[in-house]
Copies of this chain bind each other. A is one copy, B any other.
Amino acid sequence: MDSMPHLQQPTMSVVQRSSALKERVEFYRKKGQRIAFVPTMGGLHKGHLSLVKHAKVTADVVIASIFVNPKQFGPTEDFDSYPRDHTTDVAMFEEEGCHVVYIPEVEEIYPPDFKTVIQVPALDGVLCGASRPQFFTGIATVLARLFLQVNPDVTFFGEKDYQQLLIVKQLVKDLGLPITVEGCPIIREQDGLAMSSRNKYLSEEERAMAPALYQEMQKAVQEMTSGKKIESVLQVSKKRLKDLGFDIDYFEVREIASLALVEKDITQTSRLFAAAMLGNTRLIDNIEVSLKS
């Protein structure tokens, strides 16, 4: 029995109060331990778990959080139906070797008279920010709040939400928080579909169609790097996706630091960013566009 791996590590703590969380963090700090933070909205998949794996490589302690942030959902969006299965999520975090999971109630993050708004306007007006105006303001506000509660040394975000990653890096830098923000590669299903909590919304038919987005993105990048005009490649790709039933929000190339639109020549490292509705489900994805050699 003693040799069972799950007995070799102490039981993971689940905390709901920021005061209890702070006690844990102070305990680790006093021991001189390096603390990693993996914020999530739950609905865990292998993408989230890869963040925990990355965190464990560089930190002594991994604190994850589950908080479905109301401020980043629009009035017609899926806040109420967003996947919430804390029991499964907590078991997955424990299995992965997290030390603490912080699951605050809404009032713990936003007391009734909460009024402050935090934004990174220079980065939040394009891509997902253009069609979801509250989205990144909600994210910047909740993450400032969580970072100040958790006080980690390092935090991990997936590159699937690439714009979010940029905004988090900028926010942490601008606030002068002593936190390193690490981006981690997109984790995909075997057929290439980027993992997402929202993939659960897809019907069987939609799920079968969904990988076509990534396939089309790969094709487009290949054509652009082989010298075809960006504009016409994107146009053809978008046409094909539409014909397959995707309702495209954006399908465009942007520079990776400024998110400036790339319309003619790729002169800096850039990425192809895509967002599309498939039925009632919003899919997003992005892949690197290498410089022409």
Contacts and interface: CB of A to CB of B under 8 A. Distances in A.
Interface of A: 18, 111, 113-123, 140, 144-145, 148-149, 170-171, 173-177
Contacts of A116: 118-120, 140, 170-171, 174-175
Given A148-B176, A149-B176, A118 B120 contact: no
A145 B175 contact: yes
Contacts of A18: 176
A288 B21 CA distance: 41
A140, A144, A145, A177, most chain B CB atoms within 10 A: A144
Contacts of A122: 115
A25 to B, nearest CB: 13
A18, A117, A173, most chain B CB atoms within 10 A: A117
A273 B144 CA distance: 33
A144 B175 contact: yes
B120 A117 contact: yes
Contacts of A149: 176
A258 B144 CA distance: 24
A177 B115 CA distance: 15
A228 to B, nearest CB: 33
Contact of A175 (B113, B119, B120, B148): B148
A39 to B, nearest CB: 15
A116, A120, A174, A175, most chain B CB atoms within 10 A: A116
A117 B115 contact: no
Contacts of A144: 175
Contacts of A173: 111
A123 to B, nearest CB: 7
Contacts of A121: 115, 117
A133 to B, nearest CB: 14
B120 A174 contact: no
Contacts of A145: 174-176
Given A116-B120, A118-B118, 4 more contacts: A116-B119, A116-B140, A116-B174, A117-B121
A120 B113 CA distance: 11
Nearest to A110: B174
Contacts of A175: 116, 144-145, 148
A176 B116 CA distance: 11
For the complex of A and B, list the 10 residue pairs with the smallest distance between their C-beta atoms, beginning with the closest: A116-B174, A115-B122, A117-B119, A115-B120, A115-B170, A148-B176, A118-B118, A114-B174, A116-B120, A116-B171
Contacts of A114: 174
